[in-house]
Structure formats: structure tokens, C-alpha cells
Chain A
Amino acid sequence: MKTVTIVAGVLLVFVFVWERVDVVRLGYQIERLKTQKVLLERERDQLQVKFSALTAPERIAKVATEKLGLIPPQQGQVLMVHQPGEAPSLLLPPVEQVRLAKRDSIGRESE
């Protein structure tokens, strides 16, 4: 009985010590991850600024006209296409319409 008590006591001490060590270890890990998060957020922001600058309409128009030789559509070259029963979507710009169209087509494929 005495031996069992001693062993249990030692085990408890070990568990306690292990727990304390683990808490410290996890604390360091959390700190490291926090720092990593901040650095990644910073990198994300820098990339976001770069992305926004690269997708500026002015730049895209310049690349399209000067590098790719594209020109704005002339009169009669734009044709609006609407699905049956669908009112012309006045509120959404073309890019949104394309997104919606893609979503629809995915839906159909899975059916």
C-alpha cells in the first residue's frame, strides 16, 4: 500500500512537471506562430497592393492596346445575350455575370 502511494505520488509529480514543460513549450510555439502570422499578413498586404496595382484598369488598358494590339469594341460589335425569362442584369457588371454564368454551368455539369 505504501509503495503504491509512493509510486502514485511520483507519477503525479511527473505529470505535473510534464504538464508545466508542455505549457511552456506550447507558449513558445504560440508566440512563434503569432510572429509568423504577422509576417504572413504583412506579406499578404504587400502582395495585395501589388495585385491591385497590376489590375488597375489603366494598366490593363495600356497592356491591351500597346502590347497586345487590342482596341475597344466598335459600334455594333457588342451584343448582349440574355437567357430566356431573365431580365437584363443591369446591376451586375460583366465580370459578375461571367461568374454567375460559370457557377450555373458547374451546377449543370454536376446534375
Chain B
Amino acid sequence: MDSRNSFGADRPGGRPRESGIPGTAPSLPAVPSLPGMEATIEVTDLRKRFGPAVALDGMSFTVLPGQVTGFVGPNGAGKSTTMRVILGLDAADAGSALVGGRPYRSLRHPLSHVGALLDAAALQPSRSARNHLLWLAHSQGLTAGRVDEVIGQAGLASAALRKAGGYSLGMRQRLGIAAALLGDPPVIMLDEPFNGMDPEGIVWMRGFLRSLAAQGRAVLVSSHLMSELQDTADHLVVIGRGKVIADTSVAALIAAASSGRVTLRTTARPDAMTVLANTGATVATAGRDTLTIAGLAADKIVAPLGESRVPFAEVSAHRATLEEAYLELTRDAVEFRAAAASGGPGASSPQSDSKEAAR
């Protein structure tokens, strides 16, 4: 698509990954100081309250060019609020959000700096998709020709003249993508773009996001489902309760979640559990004939099982799914939310929940 890409045109997976460690800043060196480095989002210590509720509690992260950054957290963690602050829609109580080094509200032709999709349903139902893009294009001094280009890129050519009110959610997402591409921006920011998409659309979206990153754009994609980002994101910013829990590459996050664990397949699960527990390892059931063992290396597992003549089929290093890693990270935030939603800060346990309900 763009011949000036410096890398990544061969294969989407061929992008370089930086080796981040959970909880530490990304390690790409000196990116903001390079000339022409517009494709960044820098969020620094954002704080915002809605009445008594703390929405953002010191949110800080940086989105770098050339990769898809997943922005994940439970519902209500502050993803959308952060994006609205970045786009100058909401004012933060403290902190700063810069796009290419500048506050969004100071940008001229903002759509050629950032393409954003916040709410795919934000459409005038009686206006056609093409006309929706047309007024956006006119606001940036762009022509109808550019509108037709992005309609093609988003795969909407056959439906562009239909009223947007009749669009399915998946088509609206595509229309939102088209709008985000209108100004051909170096930064793309999408809030839950997979919502309402059919499997085919999800596959398309993943490939599309990766190709955008491969062109050297910074792509920030929020989701409350880590699985959606499994094969898409290179980097993850995991948030909960208004702040960053982990800022890491996908590879490092999985490695950390998998570290030191071993998966054992055995037909004699109870016997194996007893034997391994006696060695001091932590053993957990992971399936009908599967155990996950922590605190004991794979080669140290085989010997005691052999001595006790416990049959086993397979011993392998455990590889956590992204979902598992994510659930591990966000457990606190989710529990807090569940409690808060059912009875306020005072109701911190299931027991008190049921009491509330019984009254």
C-alpha cells in the first residue's frame, strides 16, 4: 500500500517485537525524539472523576508506531474515558494526553493526525454512509474522491449509498473504520471495533489492523475480551480501575503467566496429585486428565511419578493463553467491580450480597 514502509511488508508477523517486561515502560529507544515521529500517543498521569466515581486514577502509557497496541481491561476500567480524553472530548482533571506530541485540541485537520472510532452507532440514520463520510471529508478540506477510496478500503462499496440507519453493527464498524482512515492518519484509535462483527469480519479486521501497523502507524485497539486481540496485538496496555496494570509485549505477558508451570496428562489423576503434592509442589486440576504443576521443574516431576508407578502420557511446559494471563492480571479489578455493582463499597463478599438481596 505504501512503498515507503521500512519493514513488515513481507509478512504481518514479521514485525520486530520489543522485549518488554510486565509493569515496565516499553523499551523502544528514543522514539519521540526521532524526526517525523508523529505516530505516537503519550498519556501521562491522567486523572478524572465523575462525581464520586474515580474513572481515571493516574493513567499513563505510550502507544508507539509500527505495532498494534491492545488496550484491554474489564468494562468500566476507563478505556473509553481515556480515549475520549485523548481526543479532547472529555477534559481530564489532571495529567496530559498528547498525540504526536501535541494536545488533540490544538491540531489542525485533526483527522489527518488521528483516525478514531469511538461509537459505531453514532450516525444519523437517514443519512447514507457515503454522505456521512462526505461531511467528515468536507470538514477536513478533503474531496469526495478520498471518500470513495476509504469506502473501498473498508469493504463498503456495495452498500455506501444505503442509509446508515439500516446498517448492521458489523457494517457500522466498517463505516467507522472508513471514517478513521479518511485523513490517512499515522495514529489509529479504535474502541471495541470487533463488537458485532461476524467471524469473517473479525478475520478481516485483524488483518486490516496488522497491515495498518505494518505501514508504520500507531494502532490502539481497545477490547474487553483479550481473545479478540490474541492474534492481533503486539503490545498490550492492560488497565483496571482507571490505571495501568501491565504495559508489556504480548510475548512477555504470556511468558510471565506461563513461567515455571508444567502441564501433566495422566489417567491416574488423584494418585499423581498425591505424589506431587508430597514433593511440595502446587498442583491444580486443569481438566479431566490434566494437571498444572507449579514449583517443580518438568524433569523433577518425572522421577517421583516413576518411583510411585503412576502412569502419565505427557509432561510439557505450560503455555498460558492470553486470556489466562489477562484474567490473572485483572482479577482484582473484576472482583472490585462485581462487589461495587451489587451493593456499593460496603458489600465486599457474596454473603453480604445475598443479604442485600434478601431484604
Q: Indicate, yes or no, whether A interacts with B.
A: no
